[in-house]
Structure 1
Amino acid sequence: MADAYGNVSLTCPAAALQRPRIPTLLSAFLTLLNDRLSESIVFPLLPFLLASFNADGRTLGLLAGSYALAQFAATPLIGALSDRFGRRPVIATCVAGSVLGLGLFAITVSMEWPKGALLPLMLLFGARLIDGFSGGTAATAGAVLADITPEEQRARAFGLIGVAFGLGFIIGPFVGGQLARINVTVPIWVATGFALVNLLVVLGLLPETHPRTARQAMPRKRDLNPFAQIAKVIGNPAVGRLCLGFFLFFLAFNGFTAILVLYFKQRFNWGPELATTAFLIVGVVATVVQGGLIGPLVKRLGEWKLTLTGLGLVILGCLLIPSTDPQQAQAGVFSSVAILATGTGLVTPSLRSLVSRRLDSEGQGTALGSLQALQSLGSFLGPPLAGLSYDLLGQISPFVGSACLLIMVMLLVGGSPLPSRTQ
């Protein structure tokens, strides 16, 4: 089951284990893949899709952040609804929302609009908000996996989440870049089509895995308020500094990555194919680091040292990108984003683990759910702030500002080591 923040619990009714596994696993996997694939196709193409409407950094940042804002607001409610009414109707509704949001976005960018028209921008923001509000599918799909899997096999089942996310971050930019050769709007239609296939599979194959006997009442309104949980975890002396660092990391990271493609477009005159290749490299490197290297590295160095090392690599990559010579742009940028992705692949799981290990078992769910809320909040605030900085202070300013924030994160983490026996 999942709590209000989408955290999967470790108890599942025995009746749920009798559900058909293959259709259920296929439905959950496609839902998880669609969750990442639609975003990884759309996001790198936003500056090119916006070119006919408004190409400034502020608009790009707000549009990039609007998805995260809607997801931040809706995820607690979606988790609670799946516990109250079941997984199948919630997943079906969320995927239908994804089809609607992506479809509206595709229609809007495919139409001819009068120059300076406000309506298309309003429709684009509406489409992103719809997609974000229905973007809580990952938590509910994870709950489906918990429902049908015995406790001793859950680690393997939850590996599907990592596989789906990794594939989404790799396939999305590749497909987007290749299809953009035909027309920059084609990848958005393909993403819409994949979401529609996902919806048909869910409606046709996914059984209800959450028995009525295990349904839970809706929580109180204040328990669905993500800000209340954030305030609680930030105020916790055991993990407050680390959680604040977690928020600042995603504020910085999502800030400069939101304007990255716009920077490539204006600084190096790159088209969609080269721009999406940079994100493809990020997906491949981050998947290799988190999928194969993080375990041995944690055993050798510990989470605290890995977090600091990863932050150093992210700062280095962040500063190398604007230092790249336009005459050697591809080599400079691709190596820089590889360094960046390596650092991110180290920081995210290590910092989560640092928070988790400082808490007893009773505080795990709330704290880790709050980390997701902090990540969404940082993902919302970072892009508009970076876009504003890009327009007012210059192209390099988001990179420098993000590097300064990441140094602050290093100071927060550096002052919060684990006891020496657990390093």
Structure 2
Amino acid sequence: MKFSIGRTFLLGFGFFGVSVIWMVYNAFVPLFLANRFHIEPWLIGLFMTFDNFAALFIQPPVGAWSDRLRTPIGRRMPFILIGAPIAALVFGLIPLASVLPLFVACTSTLILSMAFWRTPVVALMPDITPSEYRSQANGIINLMGGLGAILGTLVGGPLFNINEAYPFWMGSALVILAALMVFIFIKEPKEYETTSEEQPSLWQSLIDVLTSQERSALRILLAIFFWFVAYNAIEAFFTLYAQNHLGLPGGDGARLLGQLSLLFVLFALPAGMLGGKFGRRKVIMSGIILLSACMLGMYFLPPETLLIQITRLPVLGVVPVVGVILMIAGIAWAMINVNSLPMVVDMTDQLRVGTYTGLYYLFSTLAAIAGPNLNGWIIQLTGKDYSNTMLVGPLFMLVALVMMLGVRRGEAKSVPSA
């Protein structure tokens, strides 16, 4: 198994499709809920976690199932070819739903179909990448995901201001294209590691992590939980934060998120390289500190300061102070996110890559449930002050930092020379 940059870029189209869908969903569904259906903030927070409740019960066992599956087209590919087309279809129907029950039906179907194929498409990366190159490969994967996020925000924002359905229709077309690119150009390994022993299930692997005397795996999974609580809490409410705290139109709030996504994309590859050179743990911890500082800046600086125009750039348009802070946050998030999954999968063997990918998503999904709910209630209880979304995050980042201090495994494994 050799590392191929070109093949990894092609694999990244899978994560590209996932990111387009979720960025458009997270940016504009809260606006529909607040403006079209007049839902209260705490209920919006609950609604924005429905996808994560589904993922909690679907993604981890699907990851373990894909480890065991054997088909002529591979063990991961069937999940992609079933889940992606269904997701594309219902995603395009979401903005057309004028009554709440139909809106919920469309979003629920999207949630289930996306949960069905996300873990297998992510598990393809370690399937085809040697351990010592997984941070770099994950940098490429996240670069492609960031490109999807940019399209969902920088392009989706102006499209939303023209017609609320346009970003969703764009996302549907792109996710079909992405799934086809993965199916056509990525060939799964023909042979897999085998063992005469029964493979532990996801839940047995979780029990092993919880009861192990060496706590590195548990610590990083808890760190993942806490930093995703912080990040998801902000992401779920940012367009409403921009609308209610900064006084910006919904499309402009999405455009600001696009500035974060752009820097995430530009720094995804360098973040992987930094993890390979200086160690994944050190780079993640640096990212935690930097992202915490960005959140505190968005909380303590007044709106009139955050909206001061710094410059105007092609594609990005006006870049205010808050845009610069979000760009720095994008760099910090790349340092954390690019290096975390490789650390998790390098704490196990090749037989359980899908299972440990499932554990990664189990803890990130639990965080994605807790974060928006927590912030929804904080906003509700503080008189709908959306700036409080930026205050809670650093507290959870601090806990994540403490967890990472005790991680001793998960760096790149060297391959013995012949």
Pairwise CA distance, 1:361: 6.3
Pairwise CA distance, 1:187: 0.8
Pairwise CA distance, 1:214: 5.3
Q: Partner residue of 1:257?
A: 235
Pairwise CA distance, 1:200: 5.5
Matched residues, percent identical? 17
Pairwise CA distance, 1:318: 1.2
For the structure 1 residues 403 and 52, does the alpha-carbon distance in structure 2 shift closer, same or farther, using more than 3 Å as the test?
Answer: same
Q: Give secondary structure in 1 for the equivalent of 2:248.
A: coil
For the structure 1 residues 373 and 271, does the alpha-carbon distance in structure 2 shift closer, same or farther, using more than 3 Å as the test?
Answer: same
Q: Partner residue of 2:172?
A: 192
| Counterpart check, 1:397 vs 2:374 | no
What are the ranges of 5 or more consecutive residues in structure 2 without an aligned counterpart? 308-319, 413-418
| Counterpart check, 1:379 vs 2:356 | no
5 Å-filtered alignment, 1:66-77, equals 66-77=50-61
| Counterpart check, 1:97 vs 2:71 | no
5 Å-filtered alignment, 1:17-416, equals 28-50=11-33, 51-79=35-63, 80-81=65-66, 83-86=68-71, 87=73, 91-113=77-99, 117-139=100-122, 141-142=124-125, 146=128, 160-198=140-178, 205=184, 209=188, 211=190, 223-225=201-203, 228-236=204-212, 237-239=214-216, 240-293=218-271, 295-296=273-274, 299=277, 303-330=280-307, 331-349=320-338, 365=353, 370-393=359-382, 394-395=384-385, 396-414=387-405, 416=406
**In structure 2, distance between residues paired with 1:279 and 1:169:** 9
For the structure 1 residues 57 and 96, does the alpha-carbon distance in structure 2 shift closer, same or farther, using more than 3 Å as the test?
Answer: farther
What are the ranges of 5 or more consecutive residues in structure 1 without an aligned counterpart? 1-9, 12-16
Q: Give secondary structure in 2 for the equivalent of 1:68.
A: helix
**In structure 2, distance between residues paired with 1:312 and 1:294:** 18
Verify the 8 A CA contact 2:95 2:168 in the aligned structure 1: no
Q: Which moved more, 1:334-343 or 1:361-370?
A: 361-370
Verify the 8 A CA contact 1:84 1:216 in the aligned structure 2: no
Q: Partner residue of 1:14?
A: none
**In structure 1, distance between residues paired with 2:135 and 2:228:** 26
**In structure 2, distance between residues paired with 1:277 and 1:246:** 27
Counterpart code for 2:330: A
**In structure 1, distance between residues paired with 2:161 and 2:373:** 29
Cα displacement string for residues 161-206 of structure 1 (whole angstroms, at most 9, x for unaligned residues): 2442232233322221132132122111111122334455667x46
Q: Which moved more, 1:24-33 or 1:340-349?
A: 24-33
Q: Give secondary structure in 1 for the equivalent of 2:401.
A: helix
Verify the 8 A CA contact 1:71 1:134 in the aligned structure 2: no
Q: Give secondary structure in 1 for the equivalent of 2:373.
A: helix
TM-score normalised by length of structure 2: 0.76
**In structure 1, distance between residues paired with 2:357 and 2:119:** 16
Verify the 8 A CA contact 2:267 2:334 in the aligned structure 1: yes
For the structure 1 residues 158 and 298, does the alpha-carbon distance in structure 2 shift closer, same or farther, using more than 3 Å as the test?
Answer: closer
Q: Give secondary structure in 2 for the equivalent of 1:268.
A: coil
**In structure 2, distance between residues paired with 1:154 and 1:350:** 9
Pairwise CA distance, 1:52: 0.9
Cα displacement string for residues 331-384 of structure 1 (whole angstroms, at most 9, x for unaligned residues): 232122123223222233455677678x58699956665334322321232222
Verify the 8 A CA contact 2:137 2:272 in the aligned structure 1: no
Counterpart code for 1:250: F
Q: Which moved more, 1:310-319 or 1:79-88?
A: 79-88
Q: Give secondary structure in 1 for the equivalent of 2:162.
A: coil
Q: Partner residue of 1:7?
A: none
**In structure 2, distance between residues paired with 1:400 and 1:73:** 30
Cα displacement string for residues 56-98 of structure 1 (whole angstroms, at most 9, x for unaligned residues): 3233323332223333332334332364233558535434433
Cα displacement string for residues 190-229 of structure 1 (whole angstroms, at most 9, x for unaligned residues): 11122334455667x4687454x75979x9897144xx53
Cα displacement string for residues 128-162 of structure 1 (whole angstroms, at most 9, x for unaligned residues): 2333333334235437x72xx89999888776524
For the structure 1 residues 30 and 311, does the alpha-carbon distance in structure 2 shift closer, same or farther, using more than 3 Å as the test?
Answer: closer
Verify the 8 A CA contact 1:69 1:376 in the aligned structure 2: yes
For the structure 1 residues 245 and 174, does the alpha-carbon distance in structure 2 shift closer, same or farther, using more than 3 Å as the test?
Answer: same
Verify the 8 A CA contact 1:49 1:185 in the aligned structure 2: no
For the structure 1 residues 304 and 47, does the alpha-carbon distance in structure 2 shift closer, same or farther, using more than 3 Å as the test?
Answer: same
Verify the 8 A CA contact 1:233 1:243 in the aligned structure 2: no
**In structure 2, distance between residues paired with 1:25 and 1:242:** 25
Counterpart code for 2:392: G
For the structure 1 residues 400 and 42, does the alpha-carbon distance in structure 2 shift closer, same or farther, using more than 3 Å as the test?
Answer: same
For the structure 1 residues 125 and 220, does the alpha-carbon distance in structure 2 shift closer, same or farther, using more than 3 Å as the test?
Answer: farther
Q: Give secondary structure in 1 for the equivalent of 2:245.
A: helix
Aligned residues between the structures: 389
Counterpart code for 2:66: L
For the structure 1 residues 293 and 68, does the alpha-carbon distance in structure 2 shift closer, same or farther, using more than 3 Å as the test?
Answer: same
Verify the 8 A CA contact 2:139 2:338 in the aligned structure 1: no
